Amino acid sequence: MTAELGTTLLGIARATIADALGSTARADESAPRLHAPGASFVTLTQQGELRGCIGTLEAHRSLLADVKANALAAAFRDPRFGPLQHTELEITEVEVSLLSPIQPLAFTGEADALAALRPGIDGVVLEYRHYRSTFLPQVWEQLPEPELFLAQLKRKAGLPADFWVEDIRLSCYSVSKWRESEQL
């Protein structure tokens, strides 16, 4: 994906949040790629710490609509944080991740699944019955060991870190990501 697309997506995400906070902000929404289906995550950080992260795993609306919806959700509806305040906007960094289609991971057990994961490359979706969670590939930066990565993914889903049954499903995806501080 191009740096130009990244700059456009970051501008759209920031302008959407700014508008919701009562500021007038504009972003270029004319690129044809914005009107094709797309799945994205919008991540907000402040001084390197997570402030909100919401996204879509599968493309079911235009990329433009998806980024806007996820920007608003990350800023105002992430259940881990209170709504973003206007005074926080200037210290908030925006990151947009564009997801590839999700692919099921083939494995015969937990050890095989751990061996199949590609640290730093794979975003991972874990599913078991009604439990579901995902980590973007960027999470490998904090959890570089596959065992720890998978254990925390299970905990995020509401399962014990050592939980394993043969019915667990894992799927992987990759991302193209852009962060405001990297656009300078």
Mind listing the pLDDT tens digit for each residue in 24-74? 889 999 999 999 999 999 999 999 999 999 999 999 999 999 999 999 999
- Average pLDDT in the 2-23 region? 95
Residue 56 CA to residue 81 CA, distance in Å, equals: 19
Q: Where in the chain is the domain with CATH 3.30.1490.150?
A: 103-173
Please, are residues 49 and 92 in contact by the beta-carbon 8 Å criterion?
Answer: no
CATH superfamily of 103-173: Hypothetical protein ph0010; domain 2 (3.30.1490.150)
d(Cα 97, Cα 134) in Å, to the nearest integer? 13
Sign of torsion over alpha carbons 106, 107, 112, 114:
positive
At 1, is the pLDDT very low, low, confident or very high (cuts 50, 70, 90)? low
Span 168-178, pLDDT tens digits: 999 999 999 99
User: Range(s) for CATH 3.30.700.20 in the chain?
Assistant: 3-99
pLDDT in tens, 22-34: 998 899 999 999 9
Buried b (16+ CB within 10 A) or exposed e, 43-57: bbbeeeeebbbbbbb
Q: What percentage of residues in the chain have a pLDDT greater than 90?
A: 95
CATH number 3.40.50.150 is the correct assignment for the domain at 3-99: no
**How confident is the model at residue 25, as a pLDDT?**
87
